Amino acid sequence: MDVLFTCAGKRVELLKAFRSAAKRLNVDLKIHAADMSWFAPAMHIADQAHIVPTLDDSNYIDALLEIVKKNGISMVIPLIDTELGQMSKAWSRFDQIGARVVVSSENVIETCTDKLLTFEKLKVSGIDTPETWPCADVLRRKHHRFPYFLKPRAGSAGQGNYKIESIEELRVLRRHVTKPIVQEFVDGTEYTLDVYTGLDGIPQCIVPRKRIEVRAGEVTKSVTVKNRRVMAVGRKVALALADCRGVITVQCISTRDGRIRVIEINPRFGGGVPLAIHARADFPRWLMAEHLGRRITIDPTGFRNNVYMLRYDESVFYSPDRRRGN
C-alpha cells in the first residue's frame, strides 16, 4: 500500500504513526511525502519524497496526479488548511486513477475555511459558538462590550489573532489582519477534539485534548480528557457538517458557567493528533483498514484518559547528495 502525504512539512510523528499502524495491520506500507522544499523534515522520514510546485501554482494538482500515477499510490492525505479546497475539488480526478483522497466535501471545506460561514453553520445547527461579526460592522457600533477577539476570516495556525481591549486597538490591529472578523471573547478551558469520521463521515471516536501550552499556533503541551459532554459536542459538529472524511479537529472552550462553545473547525489531521493516537485512538490503523475494506471495531471511549504530551525539538539531518525521491 502506497500513501502520499501532501504538504508534509514537519508532520514526522504522524508519518511514523502510520508506519507503526501498518505493521500492526501486517501491511507493506510505502510512505510518500510531497512538499515544495527539501527543508521539510518529513521529506526525510518518508520512504520516497517528491518536490512539488507551491500551492498557488496552477500545476500543483497536476504534479500530484503525476506522482500518484507514476508510483501506484492508492491513498492521498492532505495536511494543511490552504490545500484542502483544491484537493476536494480535484477528488474525482484522483479517484479516476485509483487514488482515494482523504478529504471532506467541498461544502465542508468552504464552511470550515470561512469563519463567518462556520459561525452561521454552527448557529443554525444549534451548537453554542461565540457571536461573530464582520469587523466593519463592529467599528460602526456606538456601544461595545470588550474584550473582543480579532482574527482573519480565513486564518490558520493562530496567525493574525488578537485579543482586543479597546476600539483604538481594533482600529489599529485590523490593518494587520486579512479580511478581519471580530468574535465575542470567550474565557475558559480550551480543548481540541480529534474526531474520527472515517471514510463514511460518521463520527466514531472523539478524543478531547486540553491545551496547556501553544507555540506558533501548534500545541506543545496537552492532555487527554475523557469528558463526555465535550465529546458529545464534537460528535454534534461532525454530524452537522455531514460530509467529513478522515480526522477533523474541533476547537472549543469550556466556560466557568458550564457552556461548551465551539470556536473553530479544521477538517484535517491536527498538529497535536499524535497525542490521541498514542492514547490508543488508532486513527491511522482504522483509516488504512477501512481503505483496504477490512472490518474494524472502534470503541468510542477506548482511548486512555489523562495522558500528557510534552513536545520538544528534535533535528533531522540530511546531505543534499543523499536525498530520497525525485
**Do 223 and 150 fall within a single domain?**
no
Q: For residue 108, what pLDDT is reported? A: 98
Q: For residue 159, what pLDDT is reported? A: 78
**Do 156 and 231 fall within a single domain?**
no
Q: For residue 73, what pLDDT is reported? A: 98
| Number of structural domains the chain divides into | 3
Asked whether residue 96 is assigned to any structural domain, the reply reads: yes
Mapped to the 3 state alphabet, what secondary structure does the chain carry?
CEEEEECCCCCHHHHHHHHHHHHHHCCCCEEEEEECCCCCHHHHCCCEEEECCCCCCCCHHHHHHHHHHHHCCCEEEECCHHHHHHHHHCHHHHHHCCCEECCCCHHHHHHHHCHHHHHHHHHHCCCCCCCEEEHHHHHCCCCCCCCEEEEECCCCCCCCCEEECCHHHHHHHHHHCCCEEEEECCCCEEEEEEEEEECCCCCCEEEEEEEEEEECCEEEEEEECCCHHHHHHHHHHHHHHCCCCEEEEEEEEECCCCCEEEEEEECCCCCCHHHHHHCCCCHHHHHHHHHCCCCCCCCCCCCCCCCEEECCCCCCCCCHHHCCEC
Query: 217 and 159 in contact (C-beta within 8 Å)?
Result: yes
User: Which CATH number characterizes residue 17's domain?
Assistant: 3.40.50.20
**Do 30 and 79 fall within a single domain?**
yes
Asked whether residue 321 is assigned to any structural domain, the reply reads: no
Strand partners, 250: 193, 265
Q: For residue 320, what pLDDT is reported? A: 83
**Do 150 and 218 fall within a single domain?**
no
Q: For residue 319, what pLDDT is reported? A: 86
**Do 305 and 193 fall within a single domain?**
yes
Q: For residue 322, what pLDDT is reported? A: 59
Distance CA(225)–CA(306), nearest Å, equals 6
Asked whether residue 119 is assigned to any structural domain, the reply reads: no
**Do 163 and 246 fall within a single domain?**
no
Q: For residue 324, what pLDDT is reported? A: 59
**Do 36 and 66 fall within a single domain?**
yes
**Do 252 and 162 fall within a single domain?**
no
User: Which CATH number characterizes residue 233's domain?
Assistant: 3.30.470.20
Asked whether residue 217 is assigned to any structural domain, the reply reads: yes
Q: Is 184 exposed, middle or buried (0-12, 13-18, 19+ CB in 10 A)?
A: middle
Each residue's pLDDT expressed in tens, for the chain with a length of 326 residues? 999 999 999 999 999 999 999 999 999 999 999 999 999 999 999 999 999 999 999 999 999 999 999 999 999 999 999 999 999 999 999 999 999 999 999 999 999 999 999 999 999 999 999 999 999 999 999 999 999 999 999 977 667 899 999 999 999 999 999 999 999 999 999 999 999 999 999 999 999 999 999 987 789 999 999 999 999 999 999 999 999 999 999 999 999 999 999 999 999 999 999 999 999 999 999 999 999 999 999 999 999 999 999 999 999 998 887 555 55
**Do 178 and 91 fall within a single domain?**
no
Q: For residue 216, what pLDDT is reported? A: 78
Identify the domain containing residue 226 by its residue range. Answer: 187-310
Handedness of CA 286, 223, 254, 181 (dihedral sign): negative
Q: For residue 155, what pLDDT is reported? A: 72
Phi and psi torsions of 318, nearest 5°: -155, 160
Is pTM beyond 0.75? Reply is yes
Q: For residue 326, what pLDDT is reported? A: 53
**Do 97 and 19 fall within a single domain?**
yes
Asked whether residue 162 is assigned to any structural domain, the reply reads: yes
**Do 17 and 6 fall within a single domain?**
yes
